Amino acid sequence: MTRLSLARPDDWHLHLRDGAMMGAVLPHSAAVFGRGLIMPNLVPPVVTAADAAAYRDRILAELGPGARFTPLMTLYLTEATDLADVAVAAASGLVKAVKLYPAGATTNSHAGVRDFDRIAPVLERMAELDLPLCVHGEVTDPAVDIFDREAVFIERILEPLRRRHEGLRVVMEHVTTSDGVAYVRHGGPRIAATITAHHLIINRNHILAGGIRPHYYCLPVAKRETHRRALVDAATSGEASFFLGTDSAPHADGAKISACGCAGCFTAPNAIECVAAVFEAEGRLDALEAFISLNGAAFYGMAANPDRIELERVEIAQPLPGPVMVGGDAVSVFDPGFALHWRIVNKGVDL
């Protein structure tokens, strides 16, 4: 039996949604993670410092008194984002990043950016404030193949943006390609990337071969196996610029199993166990703590969580967690497609 004691992990990319959905999914993140960087793509989006403070209050109310989980907030960048308001948000200490969605790139991104010149003054101010920019790194040009959209984004948008704003710190969220990994790896100390649990496990065959599997459809879409391998190599390398952001993105099953199914994998209940299995298969359990607990905090200028979790390897395969229920709707948990032999002990919070 193997037991690992690790600093409590953080989730540097998390969708909690709002209302009843938030009430159902939040306990799963709060049971394991110390902090979560909460994505702002609600309807309507979290645009201002006041929006973020109100959303944070709703999360804290749902957590209840005595909860150990800390939500770290983000602002949704629009072409109308106000410079002074961004400064207020940063000064509040509650908002830790601003999220850039190219308009139309993913779930609830209609209000995102079309003309990147128009956000230049905000990015300038963010560089002065040392407030990181989190990017959904896909172009939305319909002429670009969906499997190429990350690589084209780097070339057309990200590299020119970083040249123009050299002081700006950037996180390439949910990187999915060897192009993205290489770009981050050679991009210096002001760029980092989050990697999800599911992109470490699935490639595009999981979605499309032998029948279409809507629960594996997410954005950015999983790519071919060579890209998955690049992600695994980056995550298990221990390099400071790669850390876990689950992008856990719950949708009711009915919205995924549909003629036009929603993008997102709901991994909050088993992300850490899935990632541990990936690191074990690589013989790199020694690098697990850096990826899930240390590198992200360091990038965001925070100390690692002071408390710890224990991960235990067990002989008996652990059952896939059942779906989370939201009213009458089921939200299925990500199925890694192999037996999980890891479980977390001493979570500290009862579900």
Which residues are the active-site residues?
247
Contact range with Zn ion by CB under 5 A, out of 142-150, 240-248, 292-300, 313-321: 240-248
The one among 10, 247, 273, 335 contacting Zn ion by CB under 5 A = 247
Class of residue 149 by CB neighbours under 10 A (exposed 0-12, middle 13-18, buried 19+): buried
Q: Which stretch binds Zn ion (CB under 5 A): 3-11, 66-74, 140-148, 243-251?
A: 243-251
What's the closest the beta carbon of residue 107 comes to Zn ion, in angstroms? 8
Q: Are 262 and 15 in contact (CB under 8 A)?
A: no
Q: How many residues bind Zn ion (CB under 5 A)?
A: 1
If the CB atoms of residues 40 and 336 are measured against Zn ion, the closer one turns out to be 40
Nearer to Zn ion, 56 or 199 (CB): 199
DSSP-derived 3-state class of residue 89: helix
Going through the chain in order, the beta strands assigned E by DSSP cover 3-7, 11-14, 35-38, 70-76, 95-100, 133-135, 170-172, 191-195, 242-244, 308-318, 324-326, 329-331, 340-345
Minimal distance, residue 307 CB to Zn ion, in Å:
27
Strand pairing of 3-7 and 308-318? antiparallel
Best CA proximity match to 234, nearest among 273, 287, 187, 283: 287
Residue 324 CB, shortest distance to Zn ion, in Å, is: 18
Q: How far is the CB of 247 from Zn ion (least distance, A)?
A: 4
**Is 138 a residue that touches Zn ion (CB under 5 A)?**
no
251 is in an annotated binding site: yes
Q: Helix 225-236 to helix 271-281 angle, to the nearest 10 degrees?
A: 90
Contact window for Zn ion (CB under 5 A) among 244-252, 271-279, 294-302, 321-329: 244-252
Neighbour count for residue 40 (Cβ, 10 Å):
23
Binding site feature residues for Zn(2+): 13, 15, 99, 136, 174, 247
Binding site feature residues for substrate: 15-17, 41, 136, 219, 251, 263
The residue ranges that bind Zn ion (CB under 5 A) are 247
